[in-house]
Amino acid sequence: SETLPKTRGTPAAAAVRPRAAPLPMARRLLHLRSRLQALAPRLVPSRQYMSDMRRSVFLDRLLRSLRSEISSCRAEPAPRPPPSAAPFALDDRPGEQWVRLRRAFGEQQEEEVRVDASMVDGAVAPTRSGVAAEDGGPQDRMHISVHVEVSKPARPDFALKFECSAWPEEMDVERVFPVRRSGPTPEQQYMGRQFRELDEEMQTAVRDYLEQRGVNDELAAFLHTYMENKEQTELVGWLKNIECYLKNIKKSLLFQKT
């Protein structure tokens, strides 16, 4: 009987095992295993695959809802065209909820009047009439926040600011305060009393000051008409932007499945 050669430097009891012959079937199985792993997501739905399917179904429902809302908005009658903003020049940037109006004032055009107005931001009882609706009924009116700044190029570091409320038929003053551009911000400085707490004669003088510069009840009516138009336009644009974003997400999910 043959004895296996002993390895030098190893104990006599230890012997070198014979080298196993190649196993073609084992190699084939290993090769098939790697291919099956690559094909597995297509053959058997994985957790990620099922999660993507649920997300896709959810996105389809959301997209249908958005398209229905867009169609509904477009079916509404178009708002009446806004009147002219003269004597102000209007700056309206799509996608923003504020508009800016500017004009020069004075015999020498020495003043700049700037008006920043928000879209409708609430419905409350007007301060001037003092009538409040407890149940939110017809007495409530739409409210627009208006910030007015009057400045002179000769004194660029100084301005007079007014915080106002625009109602559909009137412009109310809420607060008036001076501002130094190099000084503290309005959040840090002393703002003075509420406008309605000032002397009546001073209130009348401030209203006349703004009236001369075009900040009046007519401007309030213009802003409400203009913002009604802007609200519908911005809403459709906002819905379409969300629709586009969701379409891109769905497209990326479909790309991952292929």
- What the chain holds in terms of domains, given with CATH numbers, is 89-128+140-229 (3.10.280.10)
Tokens of 149: 């700044």
Query: What is the Cα–Cα distance from 35 to 26, expressed in whole angstroms?
Result: 14
pLDDT score of 2:
43
pLDDT at 110 over 80: yes
pLDDT, average across residues 203-209: 96
Mean pLDDT of the chain: 77
Q: Which residue has the higher pLDDT, 178 or 123?
A: 178
Tokens of 219: 């401007």
Query: What is the Cα–Cα distance from 66 to 249, expressed in whole angstroms?
Result: 15
Query: What is the Cα–Cα distance from 117 to 126, expressed in whole angstroms?
Result: 17
pLDDT at 104 over 50: yes
CA 2 to chain centre: 88
Tokens of 162: 């007014």
Beta strands in 30-152 (DSSP E): 89-92, 98-105, 111-118, 122-124, 141-152
Q: Which residue has the higher pLDDT, 182 or 51?
A: 182
| Under 8 Å between Cβ of 183 and 189 | yes
Q: By C-alpha distance, which of 233, 245, 251, 247 is closest to 74?
A: 233
Least confident of 185-194, 205-214, 224-233, 249-258: 249-258
pLDDT score of 4:
40
- What phi and psi, each to the nearest 5 degrees, are found at residue 180? -105, 125
pLDDT, average across residues 242-257: 77
Tokens of 152: 């002179």
- Is the bond leading into 156 cis (omega within 30 degrees of zero)? no
Tokens of 179: 């501002």
Beta bridge partners of 257: none
Q: Which residue has the higher pLDDT, 6 or 165?
A: 165
Least confident of 18-22, 30-34, 67-71, 104-108: 18-22
For tokens 């908005």, name the residue.
73
pLDDT at 78 over 90: no
Kindly indicate the confidence band of residue 16, based on its pLDDT and cuts at 50, 70 and 90. Answer: very low
Beta strand 122-124 with 111-118 is: unpaired
Q: Which residue has the higher pLDDT, 257 or 210?
A: 210
- What phi and psi, each to the nearest 5 degrees, are found at residue 117? -125, 135
pLDDT at 207 over 80: yes
Q: What is the DSSP string of 207-219?
A: HHHHHHTT-SHHH
pLDDT, average across residues 122-148: 68
Tokens of 81: 């065209």
| Under 8 Å between Cβ of 123 and 142 | yes
List the Cα angle 251/73/142 in 5-degree steps: 125
